[in-house]
Amino acid sequence: MAGRSALRRGMMRRSSALVTSSRLWKSRLVFWAGALATGVISAGFAVMADKAQGLFFAVTGGQGWNMWLPLVITPVGMMICALTADRYFPGSQGSGIPQAIAARHLRDDHERSFLLSIRLVLGKIALTVVGLASGASIGREGPTVQVGASLMLLSARLGGMAHAKGLILAGSAAGIAAAFNTPLAGIVFAIEEMGRSYNARTNGVVLSAVIIAGVASLGLTGSYTYFGFTREVAHFPSDWLLVIACGVAGGAFGAAFSRLTLLLMRWVRRLKLAKTRKLVAIAGLAGLLVAVVGIATGGMTFGTSYVEARDAVEGHNLPWFFFLGKFVVTLASTVSGIPGGLFAPSLAVGAGLGSVIGAFLGSSAGLSAVLGMSGYFAGVVQAPMTAFVIIVEMTGNHDNVVPVMAAAMIGYGTSRLIAPEPLYHALSRIWAADIIRKIRAATAEPVVVETDVPEPAAGEPKQPPVQS
């Protein structure tokens, strides 16, 4: 009895310390402030991104001479974004998800600061908005992950909190939850794509960050389904040929996108290591391709193509060329070196692919679009749980959980056969290697190299060896 009493008194003292400790309350408050900032900034980022796209279409819309303006606006805008990112905001290029993954595997805060910082938050948001205003096929969701991870890492420093890896994970999940208004998808994304593991120490941090960021975003933007709402339901066995076709085709095309992206990104990286100025030229050529395809498709492939994907989900068939055009311009935008994400453009590609398959099989347009999104997105990112959860939450139809899950798993399996290396994790290794190489180059001692120095004449001092 005495032992139990002592144990209870010890537990009460520890509980009292947790409640009354000023240090712990400081850490909590700073952490909550970081999660709240993630939600608020994500909501503001969404508004700016929508305004930027609206400005592009307002300037280039119509049937007159202004329909040709993308031939100038898009290449120039993407070149400016690529040059600015490379010179002033290195680490902001691309999606932002690979940077957050890489930061979790780096050793200390100094190394992580090359990929996650307030400076990169500002650059990431500004340049993604400029890219969307130029018509690039990018999204804001991946960048929001890097923004959330940066804010939570800053919170860790200000609050004196340890476990930076868990806080990066929490910030990434909060970013996805706030960007898509899908809290469950944020949690699943943290488990599957960012962490590849989950433990008791991290789960409370992730959950609280997602809740706080989600509530902040919800309060500012209201409750909505990202891609509208569909009532279409897959029936067994009549619609399961469509499920299988969308999974196989989506996984194959998603794997093709992943492999082409890695191939081209490694080629671009070699150019960067050679310190050439071809990066700006690549961005310009990519922008010109985006502009030409966009004009040829009547403007459907510019930006996120959110309107086209939403129309498909709500039951409108998309033309067959939309899928191919969106695939090409998203690939071009991804390898151009500008900041911008893959989530929304990839979902639009999947909606277009599903629409083509559904029209061929005579199936429902809305159901085909949803299944195509699931198969293709799972094929690109090779994260099937995230794919089906995010799509079910975004379309508001929970009756399709099983067929959407099946399409995602088939897409994932097909993609793994073609592209064994997951896209985001392969890119994260490239980012981590670049940071380690940069740090080693900065801290390396100068090497003394003996050169062929002529022997001095009699009475003259001997020349020292040359340092290089």
89 close to 120: Cβ distance less than 8 angstroms: yes
What pLDDT score was predicted for residue 228? Answer: 64
- Residue 1: Cβ-neighbour burial (10 angstroms; 0-12, 13-18, 19+): exposed
246 within some domain? yes
76 with 205, same domain: the answer is: yes
Per-residue tokens: 243 = 């499920």
130 with 250, same domain: the answer is: no
What pLDDT score was predicted for residue 357? Answer: 96
Q: Is the Cα torsion angle 303, 304, 307, 312 positive or negative in sign?
A: positive
- Residue type (1 letter), 305: S
33 with 168, same domain: the answer is: yes
End-to-end C-alpha distance for the chain, whole angstroms: 75
Measured distance CA(466)–CA(468) in Å, rounded: 7
* Structural domain count, the chain: 2
What pLDDT score was predicted for residue 4? Answer: 58
CA distances from 18 to 21, 25, 29, 367 (A): 6, 8, 14, 51
Model confidence, pTM = 0.85
320 with 274, same domain: the answer is: yes
Query: Would you list the DSSP string of 233-254?
Result: ---TTTTHHHHHHHHHHHHHHH
261 with 203, same domain: the answer is: no
153 within some domain? yes
286 within some domain? yes
- Given 152, 186, 221, the domain boundary residue is 221
257 with 402, same domain: the answer is: yes
Residues spanned by the domain of 152: 26-221
CA distances from 432 to 111, 115, 173, 377 (A): 9, 9, 21, 25
111 contact partners, CB below 8 Å, separation of at least 6: 103, 435, 436, 439
194 with 305, same domain: the answer is: no
86 with 41, same domain: the answer is: yes
267 with 216, same domain: the answer is: no
What CATH number is given to the structural domain containing 345?
1.10.3080.10
Per-residue pLDDT of the chain (468 residues; tens, 9 = 90+): 555 565 555 555 554 544 555 666 666 777 778 888 888 898 899 899 999 999 999 999 867 778 899 999 999 999 999 999 999 999 999 999 999 999 888 877 888 889 999 999 999 999 999 999 999 999 998 899 999 989 888 877 776 666 667 778 888 888 887 777 767 777 777 777 665 555 555 566 677 777 777 777 766 666 555 666 677 777 777 788 999 999 999 999 999 999 999 999 888 877 765 565 788 899 999 999 999 999 999 999 999 998 999 999 888 889 999 999 999 999 999 999 999 999 899 999 999 999 999 999 988 889 999 999 999 999 999 988 888 888 887 777 777 888 999 999 999 999 999 999 899 999 999 899 888 888 887 776 454 444 444 455 545 555 444 444
255 within some domain? yes
Per-residue tokens: 51 = 């305004």
Helical H runs in 61-108? 70-88, 97-105
- From the centroid of its chain, how far is CA 305? 17
453 within some domain? no
Q: Is the Cα torsion angle 246, 252, 253, 254 positive or negative in sign?
A: positive
144 with 264, same domain: the answer is: no
**What is the dihedral angle through the alpha carbons of 83, 89, 95, 101, rounded to the nearest 10 degrees?**
140
293 within some domain? yes
CA distances from 383 to 58, 323, 339, 376 (A): 36, 21, 22, 11
294 with 346, same domain: the answer is: yes
20 within some domain? no
103 within some domain? yes
